[in-house]
Chains A and B, each alone.
Chain A
Amino acid sequence: MDRRKFVKSSLTTLVATSFFQKEPFSFFGKNKNFKDLIIGHNSHRYKIDMNWGALNSNFFPVNDCHEMVQDSKGRILLLTNHVKNNIIIYDKSGKLIEVWGTEFPGAHGLTLNVENGEDFLYIADNNRHEIIKTNIHGKVLLQIPFPKDSKKYNTANQYIPTETAITPNGDIYVADGYGLQHILHYNSKGKLQNIFGGRGEGDDFFDNAHGICYDDRDSRNPCLLITARQRNELKRFSLEGKLLEIIPLPGAFICRPVIHGNEVYLATIWSGDGSENTGFISILNKENKLISAPGGSTPIYQNEQLNPMHQTIKIFHHPHDVCVDEEENLYVAQWNSGKTYPIKLIRVS
């Protein structure tokens, strides 16, 4: 390199550096002596990438980032209730691949199911009061409207589904988490088979049945995990709708259970007394015991009872869902967080 070229390139380096330092969070790198922060407990600890998936909001805006899933190609799908691009598809590094979807004003629940080798999406829409099944490109294949025939509902407005879970035979379970709290069991064609849960005082009932998933960690006894968010409880139900177990998580307002390996991951939107901006992430082991709470207090069991949980570091505002990739890194979508894009947690232990 001759001298003139050298001067030019070092000048541009300077310009570029000062430009970068004006960007949000760029001062993470400014103090080289500071270590990367590690959060979480026991076997599940993470570094944090606050910039993951950040896009130009003039072109690819988000409102609430409600849920995220990973498809068979390893891509990360984000569901937002912004009708300019309800689905935003990223690669794992956070690079934008494509967007679609303009007809889901109440986009809330996103479940991916592989059927005969093909990825399908189930979207629970709060505003449309229905479930919409699409292919991976957004082509609508099935709509399940409010369950008029169940006689549990007078109008569609009473039915505000928040989540779906799909079993291997294609049956669809819907949690009416912002509506009358029923769990609706449909066959793969969308015909109602059973209805259970509902609002009420007893153990069989729900207060904000916000999330549901199919749990086959015990392959001989598959079941459903359903959150009762306002009660800080995760409930285990049989596929027939019989209550099997209640897992209390005091202080943790859990959104939806996500199974990966032997663990259950749950975005925890509020903690403690339920004050605003107090969220963290909950990770349960095979025995459904809380083993790690990134952003939250140390999980401690005394006489088999979990001590009440609370936020300890203000990293998350209102985590609404967690997606786990094959490297066991987490992608955290947030509700009401100032229209921010997801946060990635990189597993270090």
Chain B
Amino acid sequence: MKKILLFCFPILIFNCNSASKVASITTENNYAKEHFFQLATPIIKSESILFEEVNRIQLILDLPKTNIHYTLDGSEPTSSSLIFSNEIILKKSNILNARAFHAQHLPSQIVTAEFIKLSKRLSIKNIILNRSPNKNYQGKGSKALVDRKKGTTNFKTNEWLGFAGEDLEVVIEFKEKNYFQKITTSLLSDQNAWIFLPKEIEILISDDGKKFTPVDKKEITPTTENSIAQLYFSTINFEKQEATFVKILIKNISSIPDWHAGKGTSPWLFIDEIIIE
């Protein structure tokens, strides 16, 4: 009897298997259900991420019955956070986190943008890069790095300068000797496009453009695995300095982390703005 049972087993499984497939087609069980798909990430619309007076921002995801919730204190938005209606008006620097919610879909990923209120700009004479951007990602050239216009999270737009592999050195020469105490570097992280944040940013100054003295440096926490393109600002505050030249040394990570499809190869570095205040 045991033997018979053993023989019967696979046959019965097979029968059951094909029977249930037929059943699932006729009862439409193969169709994707509600509550399975994730909402797309809301679009943050604003003239610029950098502003001098006030900034008006819109959050967009045009799907009926979608609520977009947001925070301005860096915390994760939940369905009880502020709800977006017409526009958000910022009067100071803020980190905006937004996330879409819907009764039939999973909440979206969080979209983050840091809006920065700037002081008046310093007059710049010249910008020198130690290497040229990749020919496909030259943007509007090195001058775009100080035009106070921000790229979107789309690396293909011409605000962005893209560099493969090695470290990047940007030397900015002021028209005259200036005081400054804060340097913000604006970068992109887009793991789908193999664009990663650098490892470290170092600030050096000089009066003659030849001999540079280190002022400060900042390590950047590596991004964890995620699939969303994000803007990133690295701000370094230091004691007030006076100089004619400032060098921003951006040290790339040596290779793409192991969890990524491009592991071991050189990552891309995308930069669109350096703000000196």
Contact = CB atoms under 8 A, between A and B. Distances in A.
Asked whether A and B interact, the reply is yes
Interface of A: 8-9, 12-13, 15-17, 20, 25, 28-29, 31, 34-37, 47-51, 93, 272-278, 297-298, 300, 307, 310-315, 346
Nearest to B39: A313
B259 to A, nearest CB: 15
B132 to A, nearest CB: 24
Minimum-distance CB pairs A-B, first 10: A297-B62, A34-B33, A312-B63, A48-B32, A29-B29, A273-B154, A12-B12, A36-B31, A311-B40, A276-B192
A275 B227 contact: no
B174 to A, nearest CB: 34
A101 B66 CA distance: 46
B9 A16 contact: no
B72 interface: no
Contact of B31 (A16, A17, A37): A37
A310 B40 contact: yes
A346 B40 contact: no
- Main SS class of interface, A: loop
Given A8-B8, A314-B39, A277 B31 contact: no
A55 to B, nearest CB: 15
13 contacts: A8-B5, A12-B16, A16-B17, A20-B20, A28-B29, A36-B28, A273-B152, A275-B153, A276-B229, A311-B40, A312-B61, A313-B38, A313-B40
B236 interface: no
B40 A16 contact: no
Contacts of A15: 13
B24 interface: yes
Nearest to B5: A8
A346 B227 contact: no
Contacts of B34: 34-37
B61 to A, nearest CB: 6
B188 to A, nearest CB: 11
Nearest to A12: B12
A306 to B, nearest CB: 12
Given A37-B34, A273-B153, 12 more contacts: A9-B12, A16-B13, A16-B16, A35-B34, A273-B157, A274-B154, A275-B153, A276-B229, A297-B63, A310-B40, A310-B43, A313-B39
B92 interface: no
B38 A314 contact: yes
A133 B37 CA distance: 40
A346 B30 CA distance: 11
Contacts of A13: 16
A278 B193 CA distance: 14
B168 to A, nearest CB: 24
B105 interface: yes
Contacts of B157: 273
Given A16-B13, A312-B39, A49 B32 contact: yes
Given A8-B8, A274-B154, A310-B62, A28 B38 contact: no
B223 interface: no
A249 to B, nearest CB: 15
Contact of B37 (A12, A47, A314): A314
A12 B18 CA distance: 13
Nearest to A270: B154
Contacts of B62: 297-298, 300, 307, 310, 312
B156 interface: yes
Interface in B24-55: 24-25, 28-40, 43
A9 B16 CA distance: 9
Contacts of B28: 36, 47
Residue among A50, A274, A276, A311 with most chain B CB within 10 A: A276
Residue among B13, B38, B190 with most chain A CB within 10 A: B13
A274 B156 contact: yes
Contacts of A297: 61-63
B35 A49 contact: no
Nearest to A346: B31
A13 B64 CA distance: 41
B104 interface: yes
A213 B8 CA distance: 56
B83 interface: no
Nearest to A230: B156
Nearest to A34: B33
Nearest to A93: B25
